[in-house]
A and B are shown apart, each in its own frame.
Chain A
Amino acid sequence: MATETAHRFGAFGGRYVPETLIPALDELDVAFDAAIRDPEFQKELERLLKEYVGRPSPLSTAPRLSETVGCDVYLKREDLNHTGAHKINSALGQALLAQRMGKRRIIAETGAGQHGVATATVCARFGLECIVYMGEEDMRRQELNVYRMRLLGAKVVPVLSGTRTLKDATSEAIRDWVTNVNDSYYIIGSVVGPAPYPRMVRDFQSVIGREAKAQMMELAGRPPSSVVACVGGGSNAMGIFHPFVPDRSVELVGVEAAGRGLDTGEHAASLQRGVPGVLHGSLSYLLQDETGQVHPAHSISAGLDYPGVGPEHAYLKETGRAIYVSVTDEEAVEGLGILSRLEGIIPALETSHAVAWVVKEKERWNTGDAVLICISGRGDKDLAQITEMGLLPA
């Protein structure tokens, strides 16, 4: 059995959950460790990542963007995965694990809907029952993904409590899990939640960084000088960062959502403007008021609209191994337009934060730099929203 310190990244992480869930988390700890050491499990996961998800995802050069920012930019194309984002890497791994554990009822929460769609997809593939909790506000913002989940046979449950976004959808998914813990498996969508989730989701997402590391050597003949990814909960960032963490020459940059501006109080920059606190089972940076109430996050992108952040990011920040920066809603929309026009790739609004930061900071790049951006998802899902907001070019 893993010890209490094994549940943490430095001081962060842990298992701050109702007692009812402790035996289930212990069971999950053991089952996950056994699965990743089992060559049969690894073989099956690799086979499905290849034949069903379409991995490895390509690493693309970005000649026109490179010219614009004055250094070599490389794009890790998670947008080309089946379902259009990195979320399926972890959903697939966890669905295989759930089956191995004999659990046939799957619960998930979703913000932008990408994790919900990925979960609904793998549940359809394996014939598992799927219940997705989604804030009513997010259901409105991401209507297309709601249709996709329903088409895939999932039950989408609107969450009407609190801010009606990802935070409350996560709380509701946890309540379902507490109630149905014996026969249900909770597929968390990010590197958040009680141990072992942050570690497990990171490990399933690390396929992004492992591939990118090898592909950089193949394509560029060198490792990247910087790796840039957007951070909400932080799963695509942890996935691409993780294999590079021991390589101190590689700068790791997480881009948070500054929303309407870091000083407006309407943002989702937990690592830059939050303080450590406990939400959804782990201790990490958290947007909260001085009395310990969680402060609602704001971001134009539903996937970053979360007041917490994965505990391992808190650790990477504290140790200085990664830096965390931010771009506003407006800058993110610009980033979406820039990548679309320059490279013919329409990124998700979440991803657009990472793109926008690289463009915004072009002064800091030198000719010899190799900047690797994680293109975590594609932007089709966001077009209705930004058209409605009048933000698309005529």
Chain B
Amino acid sequence: MVSPPATTSSNSITRRFDALKKASRRALVCYVTAGHPDVDRSVETLRALEEGGADIIELGVPFSDPIADGPIIQASSQQALENGMTYDGVLAIIAQVRLSVPVVLFSYLNPILAAGADALSRAAAAGASGILVTDIPVGADPAREEWLGSSPLAFIRLVAPTTPRERMAEIARHGSGFVYLISRLGVTGVQETTERSLPDTIRRLRSTTTLPICVGFGISTPAQARSVGDLADGVVVGSALVRAAESGPEQVLKLTRSLREGLDG
């Protein structure tokens, strides 16, 4: 039986987690902003992430008012917008690079809405495997959540440290691919330490879902990746890679490799 393209696409994330599980490895999820520092180097950055050992790439769709982001990703978004990056520009990059690892679009809601009713199928056709929307929490807009959830893309939902357990279960039920656990209160950015309450939060979330759990916000070093990787199914590194992308693809490759080594220990 031939599976429809939809299933193949969203399953690429699931397949990746299945393979990692068999190998007893954790997922390295890498975020960068599309079109930053410029369109050409953005493409090289993605190749460096792939070569350096990323399992999943979150590709940021720049937005003018990124309320969930700290200074590093804010600045990268602004730079990308100045470079003319748009939702369809991001899809063009995905189609051009043809990565061997799944790509998740990481976006605010407004640019997706502006991209029209077929925005999600266009993304799938370009080669994206999932979508994560920072500002549409579960229950906020059932019609648009249904639209996002029924597309060919995996719909990755977020859990916060403030989320009560019953709500965690509801969030996990309404998502696919993996659950993105925000490690701390606040916006994206690097920090030295890891939240003390994180192990408890992961345990609580684990008891509500069978989806893989990836932890993000504030993870920037191989050591942090390793300690968080001991608790979760994957770690997300964002701001540190965006900062490396400023310096060039070699820096991105170097950081990705060291994160990979840290995670694989």
Residues of A at the B interface (CB closer than 8 Å) are 4, 14-24, 161-162, 167-168, 171, 174-175, 178-182, 277-281, 283, 286, 288, 290-294
Question: Besides the contacts A19-B182, A161-B74, what 14 more A-B pairs have beta carbons closer than 8 Å?
Answer: A16-B140, A18-B182, A19-B163, A161-B78, A167-B65, A179-B187, A278-B109, A288-B114, A291-B86, A291-B111, A291-B115, A292-B113, A293-B111, A294-B65
Bound complex: CA of A175 vs CA of B185, how far in Å? 10
Residues of B within 8 A of A178 (CB): 67-68, 185-187
Interface of B: prevailing SS: loop
A288 near B67: Cβ-Cβ < 8 Å: no
- B43 contacts A by Cβ under 8 Å: no
Interfacial chain A residues near B185, Cβ < 8 Å: 20, 178-182
- When A4-B142, A178-B186, A293-B111 are in contact, do A280 and B65 touch as well, CB less than 8 Å? yes
Q: How far is the CB of B245 from chain A (nearest CB, A)?
A: 19
Q: Does B164 contact A (CB under 8 A)?
A: yes
- What are 26 of the A-B contact pairs (CB < 8 Å)? A4-B139, A4-B140, A14-B140, A16-B141, A18-B134, A18-B137, A18-B158, A19-B158, A22-B167, A23-B163, A162-B78, A171-B67, A174-B67, A175-B187, A178-B187, A179-B186, A277-B113, A278-B108, A278-B110, A279-B110, A286-B110, A291-B114, A291-B115, A293-B63, A293-B81, A293-B110
Contact A19–B137 (Cβ < 8 Å): yes
Q: Judge whether B248 is part of the interface by a CB distance below 8 angstroms.
A: no
Q: Would you call A23 and B162 a contact (CB within 8 A)?
A: yes
B residues near A21, Cβ cutoff 8 Å: 162
B178 interface contact, C-beta 8 A: no
- Consensus secondary structure, chain A interface: mixed
Option from A23, A162, A179 in Cβ contact (under 8 Å) with B65: A162
The digit string for B98-140, where 1 denotes a CB below 8 A from any CB of A, is 0000000000111111110000000000000000001111111
Asked if residues A20 and B115 are in contact (CB atoms below 8 Å), the reply is no
Please, how many angstroms separate the alpha-carbon atoms of A277 and B126 in the complex? 25
Contacts of B155 in A (CB 8 A): none
In the complex formed, the residue of A with least CB distance to B85 is A291
A-B contact count (CB 8 A): 121
**6 A-B pairs with the lowest CB-CB distances in the bound complex, closest first:** A292-B114, A179-B186, A292-B111, A20-B160, A291-B86, A19-B160
A278 to B141, CA, bound (A): 12
Q: Is B70's CB within 8 Å of the partner chain A?
A: yes
B78 partner residues in chain A, CB cutoff 8 A: 161-162
Q: Give min CB distance, A16 to chain B, whole Å.
A: 5
Least CB separation from B140: chain A residue: A15
Q: Which residues of B lie under 8 Å from residue A277 when comparing CB positions? A: 110, 113-114
| Cβ–Cβ < 8 Å partners of B137 in chain A | 15, 17-19, 22
B148 nearest CB across to chain A (Å): 13
In the bound complex, CA of A179 to CA of B160 (Å): 11
For A182, list chain B residues within 8 Å (CB). Answer: 162, 185
Size category of the binding interface on chain B: 35 or more
Across the two chains, which residue of chain B brings its CB closest to A279?
A: B65
Which B residues between 139 and 165 are near A, CB-CB below 8 angstroms?
139-142, 158-164
8 A Cβ contacts from B176-195 to A: 182, 185-187
A53 to B219, CA, bound (A): 48
B232 near A: Cβ within 8 Å?
Answer: no
Residues of B within 8 A of A161 (CB): 71, 74, 78
Could you say which residues of chain A place their CB within 8 Å of the CB of B111? 291-293
* A18 and B86 contact, CB distance less than 8 A: no
The answer to whether A292 and B141 touch across the interface, beta carbons within 8 angstroms, is no
Bound complex: CA of A18 vs CA of B68, how far in Å?
A: 7
Complex Cα distance, B64 from A18, in Å, reads 16
Chain A residues near B159 (CB-CB < 8 A): 19
B31 in the interface (beta carbon within 8 A): no
Would B162 and A175 count as touching, CB distance under 8 A? no
Q: B171 within 8 Å of A by Cβ? A: yes
Please, which residues of chain B bring their CB within 8 A of the CB of A175? 67-68, 70, 186-187
B87 at the interface (CB under 8 A from A): yes
In the complex, what's the smallest C-beta–C-beta distance from A298 to chain B, in angstroms? 15
Which A residues touch B74, using CB under 8 A? 161
Determine whether the beta carbon of B113 is less than 8 Å from that of A278: yes
Neighbouring A residues of B112 by C-beta, 8 Å: 292
Task: Select from chain B the residue with minimum beta-carbon distance to A174.
Answer: B67
| Docked CA distance A288–B81 (Å) | 13
> Please, which residues of chain B bring their CB within 8 A of the CB of A22?
137, 160, 162-163, 167
Residues of A within 8 A of B87 (CB): 291-292
B135, A18: Cβ atoms under 8 Å?
A: yes
- Say which residue of A17, A20, A23, A283 sits within 8 Å of B164 (CB atoms): A23
Residue in A closest to B81 when the chains form the complex, CB atoms: A293
Query: What's the least CB distance linking A158 to chain B, in Å?
Result: 14
Chain B residues with CB under 8 Å of A171's CB are 65-67
Query: What's the nearest-Cβ distance from chain B to residue A176, in Å?
Result: 9
CA distance A277 to B112 in the complex (A): 10
A15 contacts which chain B residues (CB < 8 A)? 137, 140
- Name the distance in Å between B188's Cβ and chain A's nearest Cβ: 10
Q: Which of A23, A24, A292 contacts B110 (CB 8 A)?
A: A292
